[in-house]
Structure 1
Amino acid sequence: MTGTFESQPGSAQAVYATLRRRFAEGEYAPGQRLMEKVIAAELGVSRTPVREAIGRLLTEGLVVPTARGVAVAALTPQEAEHLFVLRADLEALAAELAAERQARGQLAPARIDELDRAVEKVEAAVEARDPRASAQANLALHRAIGAAAGNPFLEDALHRVWDRIAVTTVANLDDPHWAATIGDQHRAIVAEIRAGNPQAARQAAKSHIEAARRASMS
C-alpha cells in the first residue's frame, strides 16, 4: 500500500491506501478524530483527495460521522463477536487452502520459509514488549497465510475484516498472558501448512482465532 502512495502522490486512491494501512496496523484508536487538514499536511497533499478517501472509509464503516468531521469507528461487543466468528472461518479456510496447495506442490519452499520468518518476527516483537510492532508483525504473518491460500477473493475479505478488528489486536497483544501464547499457536498453523495437512491446518487456525476472541472479550 505504501508503494501505491509513493507512485501516485496526491491521488485519492493513494491517500485511501495509506489510511487503510494505518487502520490495518492499528495506528488509530477507537473514537479518534480524523481531521482532513492534519492528514493532508502529514501526507503533503491537498484536502480534496483526503476528503475523497475519508468518504470511502465512511462507506466501509471504518469511520463514522461526528459533529466535527469523522472519527474512527468503535466496535460494539456484538460487532466484535460477529467479526471474530467471520474471521475464524475465513482464516481457517485460508490455512486449509494453503495446506492443500502445499500438498499439491504448488507452494514454493521460499513461501513456507517466509511464514516461518513471519512467526519469528511476531515473537521478537512480543519479547520486546511492543504491542504496536507485535500487531503489525502479526498482521504480516496472517496476510502471508492469506496470500499462500491463492484465492484473491478470500484475501480481499480477510483484509476487510483485519482492518475493522486491528484495534482489538493491538489491545490483545498488550496483554502479556495472551502475547506469550500466540507463538506456539502460530507455529502450529505453519507446521500443518508445511506438512500439507489441510484439516489440521484449518483447525489450528480456527482455534487460534477463537482464542483471540476469548482474550479480547475477557
Structure 2
Amino acid sequence: MATPSDSPPGSAHAVYATLRHRFSNGEYAPGQRLTEAALAADLGVSRTPVREAIGRLLTDGLVVPAARGVAVAALTPAEAEHLFTLRADLEALAAELAASRQALGMLAPAEITALDLAVDRVEEAVNAHDPRASAQANLALHRAIGAAAGNPFLEDALHRVWDRIAVTTVANLDDPHWAGAITEQHRAIVAGIRAGDPEVARKAAKTHIEAAGRAYRPAP
C-alpha cells in the first residue's frame, strides 16, 4: 500500500496516500463532509493535488459526491454484507498462507512475536475502553497477518476492503460485547499460524470475520 513518503510532498499521489491512511485509521466519520479548500489548508498543499486525490477516492468508493465537496461513504447493510463475505474469504486465505509459510520455516520468530504483541495491543486498547485506539490496533494486527501471508496481491485486496470498513470500525469496537470477544478470536488465529497449521488458522480467521460481520452496526 502506498504511503505518503512514497511520493514528493504535495504531489497528488502523496495527498491521496495521506488521505487513504486517514481512512484506514478511522479518522473520518461516515457522512463527514470533506472539501477541497479545507483539505488543502489542512495538508498545506494547493487545491489541485487535493482535487486529483478526491477523484481517486471517489473511484475507490471511500467518498461520495455531496454539496460543496464530498462526504465519507457509509456502507448500506447490503454493502456491508457483501464486504464481510469477501473479507472472510480473503482473511481466511491470508491466515492459511501465513501458517503455510510458518510450516515451511519462512516466517522469522520475530514475525510471530510481532503478531502476539499486536494481539496484546488490541486487548490493552479494548480494556482501556478506547474505541479509536482499539480500531487502530485491530487494523495493525490484521495488516500484520496480511503481510505474513507473503502475497502482495492478496494484501492489496485486503487493504481496499479494510479501508471501506474502517470508517465504521471505531463505532463497532465501542460495543463492549463484541470488543470483549475479539481477543480470544485473535489469539486463535495467531495460534494456528504459530503452529504452522493452515487449516486451523484459516478456520479461526474465517470464524472471526464472520462473527465481526454479524456484530457489525451500520453508521447512524
TM range (shorter): over 0.9
Distance in 1 separating the partners of 2:6 and 2:159: 21
Q: Which residue is equivalent to 1:212?
A: 212
Distance in 1 separating the partners of 2:48 and 2:168: 31
Aligned pairs for 1:76-115 (under 5 A) are 76-115=76-115
State the percentage of identical aligned residues.
79
Q: Secondary structure at the match of 1:28?
A: coil
Asked if 1:146 corresponds to 2:139, the answer is no
Residue pair 2:99, 2:196 contacting (<8 A) in 1 also: yes
Q: Which residue is equivalent to 1:52?
A: 52
Residue pair 1:31, 1:72 contacting (<8 A) in 2 also: yes
Q: Which residue is equivalent to 2:161?
A: 161
Q: Any stretches of 5+ residues in structure 1 without a counterpart?
A: none
Q: Secondary structure at the match of 1:71?
A: strand
Amino acid at match of 1:10: G
Could you tell me the TM-score, scaled by structure 1's length? 0.96
Q: Any stretches of 5+ residues in structure 2 without a counterpart?
A: none
Distance in 2 separating the partners of 1:127 and 1:35: 36
Asked if 1:188 corresponds to 2:188, the answer is yes
Q: Which residue is equivalent to 2:137?
A: 137
Distance in 1 separating the partners of 2:159 and 2:2: 15
Q: Which residue is equivalent to 2:178?
A: 178
Q: Which deviates the most, 194-203 or 40-49?
A: 40-49
Amino acid at match of 1:175: D
Distance in 1 separating the partners of 2:62 and 2:192: 34
Aligned length: 218
Displacement, 1:167? 2.2
Amino acid at match of 1:143: R
Could you report, residue by residue, the CA deviation over 1:128-173 in whole angstroms, capped at 9, with x for unpaired residues?
Answer: 1110110000000000000000000000000000000112321211
Residue pair 1:172, 1:212 contacting (<8 A) in 2 also: no
Distance in 2 separating the partners of 1:6 and 1:167: 24
Q: Secondary structure at the match of 2:70?
A: strand
Q: Which residue is equivalent to 2:9?
A: 9
